[in-house]
Structure 1
Amino acid sequence: MASLVFLVIGVLIFWRLWGTSHELLGLLTSFIFITIALTGITGVFEGESVSPNPFLQVAFTISSISFFVLFPCLAAFLLTFPNGRFAPRWSWLFILLWLGQFAFFIVADTGIFGSASYSLLAGVVLVTWGSTLSIQVYRYARVYTYSERQQTKWLVFGLTLGLLLTAGSTIIGNLLPQLSRPDSPYQLLMNNLGGLIIFLPLSLSIGIALLRYRLWNIDIIINRTLVYGTLTVVLTAVYVGLIIGLQALLRGVISQDNGVAIVISTLAIAALFQPLRSRIQKIIDRRFYRRKYDAARTLAAFSATLRDEVNLDQLREELVVAVQETMQPSHVSLWLRPTEPDRGQQENWISTPAAHTKEGIL
């Protein structure tokens, strides 16, 4: 299933970006996606007879050939995403590190390094991925525009979510051994849909970053993910702790301690949900979105001043300060349109200069 998702998204990226300014990046991305998809498809039928099926024969051939160029293509994708250009220009040299990593994988499989293979493997992977990450950090801080930063956030969001899902599934399997049994529903789910659940966020995030990143604000999605992810973990811990504690307290009081503990814990979670969500939202805004948090506080203070202030000059100063603190422009100027005089004052103002002119002529 995960291979089919990669195949569909790869074809879609190739179709939508062909003939645009991001044509090379789209071709590179679609090649990586289709290669991963074909590798997964051929892995399912590995060891079986494929002669009756010409599609599988072609898939096996393309997969075996394209796998050797997958690593340099992946390096080029990570070094040029999302604008398809190498910046700095010499950053293409890091592709050589990926070729060296691929060569090391092949040599290490022969067992020539012995017990030191794992240490050397960790060092090679750390140098390769660390150098690529450093280039992306430099590009994000010095090269990218606002739109390109949003696209990069989509990629990081999908990659992080995939890693968290992988770590979560591993931790759950180790903490609850009964779920690791081959006949358990959890194990059956992971065997059938585990790859789709783990790789779907990454493939979708890359597709959205290249095709539809303007339709969704990634900052809001990241913010909500942090808030509700933290809220889920905290409420789960509170719920389990309440059940264990209440069962221990009610065991000697009433006989049906389990049902009562579950009911009380559920009511407590329902009562804690909204205030805890608001508290976590404020903490995350203050910690990760400081500018947004300060701007909201400044606007709230200005709204309170606007309701009470009657002095126009003081209100003008407060407005300028609010704009400076929220938007932080390089320069702020405020122009107030003067009030128009009434009809009688305007006629007096026009007639007075005429009288003076007449007196001067006389």
Structure 2
Amino acid sequence: MVAPATYASAGYPSIRNPFGLEAYADVFGAADAVLELLLLAVVVFSGAALLARLRTADGVRREQLKWFAYAAALILISFLVSDLAKVIPALSTVNDPFAVFAVTALPVAVGIAILRHRLYDIDLIINKTIVYILLTAVLGGVYTGAVAFFQRLFVATTGQSSDIAIVATLFVLATVFTPIKNTLQENVDRRVRPKRDHGGRSAIDDLVSLAELHARGVLTDEEFAAKKKRVLGI
């Protein structure tokens, strides 16, 4: 905010930052160079750590991580292109579009890993989201209906409204909360439920085990494909 600079990136190269501290231009320039190198180092080490995990992963986890690795590689390349653009002006025309593409690739990679390879056990998240959205809607309807009912009851019996209607409504909500939640959970579980066996293993754990058996030759290609479909429920 106080760095001395122009608004050239916004198309106004002749306008300088009115809050810029021109006397400290050299300090800001040196700090900017150091921070840029540190940021590049962080990106490089983060990418290296991701690649290291990718090399040791197998099965479904490898499929999940490879999308992150692809996005991380694009971000690293975008940093390199940005630095080279300072030396090679011709790269300036592709610098910004490529940076936008690289940054956009990260959420796209997350989406693919979630939807295609069940990253983050997304079934469980969807399950709980649906349950609590429905629970909120049902309890909201019960609250509105109960308040209206008890208010009319008090008006009919005493001739005036009463705050006791709200207390009675809260008592009703406290009574029906658990039964309604359990009913909704059971119905949602029939449609959206992470597959787990009696040992608490998730579908991803089962797929990883199958992939290891397949890699060791214990399972044939046909057996592996059949068991994978059974685990995924397809």
TM-score (norm 2): 0.42
TM-score (norm 1): 0.29
Q: Which has the higher contact order (CA 8 A, sep 6+)?
A: 2
